[in-house]
Amino acid sequence: MKAGDHDAAQPLWERYFRRLIGLARDRLRKLPRRTTDEEDVALSAFDSFCRRAEKGRFPRLDDRDDLWQLLVLIANRKACDLAKYEGRERRDWRRTASLEGEVAEPFSTDPDPAVAAEVAEESSRLLSLLPDEQLRAIAVRKLEGYRNEEIAGLVGCSLATVERRLALIRRFWEKEMPS
């Protein structure tokens, strides 16, 4: 994409667009559907990514994990921007919401306890599938957002070893994940 190859976006679209829609749906679930919805947020996020990638704005985009984290960040920001836009006084959806019961804010700084518990449980399950402690340590560091070079320094091995181990972790986990 950095070289201007527009066809390079198609495989990314096929792999990530549905996941982005699901992410946006979760973020927007408390907002009423008016003129925009989760597909609009996902489209906008993917379009922003593609335009910026063509301009070389993502120098540390090294692998699919970096890509997914970046797409999540962009989609979350788009969803937050939409919530702010819809919450402005002239368009405030809360003024037109039913007065029965309290209206919850669309976004909270705290994670939904049920989602947090589910993520923790699934993370523990996936980590338990890994056969040794070094693989688990590398996986945890990657999930915490460390770059591969940083992980190599933290676990005391080469960058190439970390990259091979991450590929091995992906293979273990891909067997367990629905397609």
Q: Strand, helix or coil at 20?
A: helix
Q: Specify the pLDDT at position 100.
A: 44
- The full set of domain ranges for the chain reads 6-96, 113-176
Rounded Cα distance between 52 and 57, Å, is 5
Q: Specify the pLDDT at position 109.
A: 54
Packed helices 133-143 and 159-176: angle between N→C axes, nearest 10 degrees: 90
113-176, CATH topology level: Arc Repressor Mutant, subunit A (1.10.10)
Rounded Cα distance between 137 and 155, Å, is 7
Q: Specify the pLDDT at position 159.
A: 93
What Å distances lie between residue 116 and 35, 43, 51, 58, CA to CA?
30, 27, 33, 29
Task: List the Cα angle 144/23/138 in 5-degree steps.
Answer: 20
Packed helices 148-155 and 133-143: angle between N→C axes, nearest 10 degrees: 140
Give me the residues of the chain with pLDDT under 50, please: 99-101, 103
23-66 residue pLDDT tens:
888 877 777 666 567 888 888 888 888 888 888 887 777 778 88
Rounded Cα distance between 167 and 65, Å, is 11
Q: Specify the pLDDT at position 132.
A: 92
Q: Concatenated DSSP letters for 105-146?
A: PS--SSPPHHHHHHHHHHHHHHHHTSSSHHHHHHHHHHHTT-
